[in-house]
Amino acid sequence: MSWRKLLLQLLVAVAMMLAEGCGSSQNDSLAPPVGTDAENAAVEPVKLSLFLGGGQLSDDEFQKYFVKPVQQKFPSITMDFVKRGKGTQITDLVAAGTVPDIIFTPQASMEQFIDLNLQMDVRDLMKKYNVNTEKFNPLTIDGIQSYSSKGEIYGLPLSYNFSALFYNRDIFDKFGVPYPKDKSTWDQVIDLAKKVGRQDGEVQYEGLFAGSLWQFSQGLSAGYTDPKTDVPLFNTDKWKTAAQYYKRIYDIPGNQKAAFAHFFGSRNLAMNANVGSQMVEEDEKARNGGAPLNWDIASYPNFPEAVGKSMKMASQVLMPTSTGSHQDLAFQVIALVTGQEQQLKMSRSGRTSSLKDPSLSEQFGADSVALQRKHIASIFMNTPTPSIYEKYDLPARNLVDKVTPKLINGTEDVNTFLRNLQELGIQMVQEEKAK
């Protein structure tokens, strides 16, 4: 462990002792369980801060899903939105003693906050405020609990990213190619990409973008390291299958530079197989700029050995912090925004609800201009693969991203690529253990 991380953990420990010693949480007891007749009991004015630790949460969403409902339910609480930037990284906030009350983070990034001892188990608060895990999509809770050793729950899921195949209808119409179909295999989608990925005058149309290789491999539940031995798993059948298909995508003529930005930007990308978190936002930008894009959705393509599976269940998690002076109130805010009423608003606006109630998915996108007349049902045809904690998740993803160009540009064939990736993975594990 580095001296910097140790120092930050000590600062967190001191902050926790100060928070316990000052007894400031006593005020929180005046705010009874959500759902009771006395839930609006008066409390002294309190400011709670929410830190954007990763993922996407716009200013408008913060106002709509946090500020306004909190003001209505708890008039004494005001919300402050803290974004990462120069001087406001989480390590900066810890060092300054201004750790936020709530952290908004993708599940895959929870580890950085746990490393700083900022996590707290919310199971007692869940009992106190009548929040049952049974109402959530079980994959979201399983994913969060995988970061603990004894079943602790370090936060609640606000939403999750869905994955699908997004396609530009105009490109398919231009070349007279049928639109992608639901429940297609990667073989079928790659064949489609070959038909629409072509040169037309000065424009090179790209057939397909499929995200990063580590994202692409999620449909096979390909792990990075063995959880018991820490031995990398890159030289396995799942990674070989993923690499072979990924190589085929980039071997399509004119597809070597395919990128997400080309879907709404230069608009020469025919298909984008990826998470949908940015699609609504990008569509709104295009509409506001007076140039809407004619696109639609099909279900995420499948590998033959993993039919019905899509990318990982990528949850956005709300974590109350261990150093917070108003942990009860912070949790009540979390309980409020993960409740049925706010979740319905999110779902209708195009943010996938963390609740398993099917009526929410049935109303998904109903209030979103971007999702009007889109084939919404395709989003929910697949089951996301489980997103379970992996010890070397972030460095492994960074490693895969670093070496993937060698596979794409043909510097290494699939077998050589995976063999070298395995050796680099061993070095990565050794380096991480030495930190």
User: What's the pLDDT score for residue 17?
Assistant: 45
* Position 29 pLDDT exceeds 80: no
User: Is the Cβ–Cβ distance between 399 and 233 less than 8 Å?
Assistant: no
User: What's the pLDDT score for residue 15?
Assistant: 46
Residue 319, strand partner residues = 103
**Candidate CATH numbers 3.40.50.300, 1.10.8.870, 3.40.190.10, 3.50.50.60; the one for domain 3-161+314-385:** 3.40.190.10
User: What's the pLDDT score for residue 43?
Assistant: 60
* Average pLDDT of span 27-32: 45
User: What's the pLDDT score for residue 12?
Assistant: 52
Q: What is the pLDDT of residues 368-427, one digit of tens each?
A: 999 999 999 999 999 999 999 998 998 999 999 999 999 999 999 999 999 999 999 999
* Average pLDDT of span 146-173: 96
Q: What is the C-alpha separation between 129 and 133, in angstroms, rounded?
A: 12
User: What's the pLDDT score for residue 2?
Assistant: 53
User: Is the Cβ–Cβ distance between 364 and 379 less than 8 Å?
Assistant: yes
User: Is the Cβ–Cβ distance between 398 and 358 less than 8 Å?
Assistant: no
Residue 83, strand partner residues = 52
User: What's the pLDDT score for residue 280?
Assistant: 86
Amino acid identity for residue 300 in this structure? Y
Q: Could you tell me what percent of the chain has a pLDDT over 70?
A: 90
User: What's the pLDDT score for residue 14?
Assistant: 46
User: What's the pLDDT score for residue 202?
Assistant: 95
DSSP 340-372: HHHHHHHHHHT--BSB--HHHHHTTTTT-GGGT
Q: What is the pLDDT of residues 74-112, one digit of tens each?
A: 999 999 999 999 999 999 999 999 999 999 999 999 999
User: What's the pLDDT score for residue 38?
Assistant: 35
User: What's the pLDDT score for residue 245?
Assistant: 98
DSSP 69-86: HHHHH-TTEEEEEEE--T
Domains 3-161+314-385 and 163-312+387-434 share a fold: yes
Domain locations in the chain? Answer: 3-161+314-385, 163-312+387-434
Q: Which stretch of DSSP H or E encloses residue 375? A: none
> Quick one: CATH architecture of 163-312+387-434?
3-Layer(aba) Sandwich (3.40)
Phi, psi of 79 (to 5 degrees): -110, 140
* Position 345 pLDDT exceeds 60: yes
Residue 384, strand partner residues = 310
* Position 206 pLDDT exceeds 60: yes
Residue closest to 79 by CA, chosen among 343, 318, 322, 317: 318
* Position 35 pLDDT exceeds 50: no
Residue closest to 108 by CA, chosen among 232, 218, 242, 272: 218
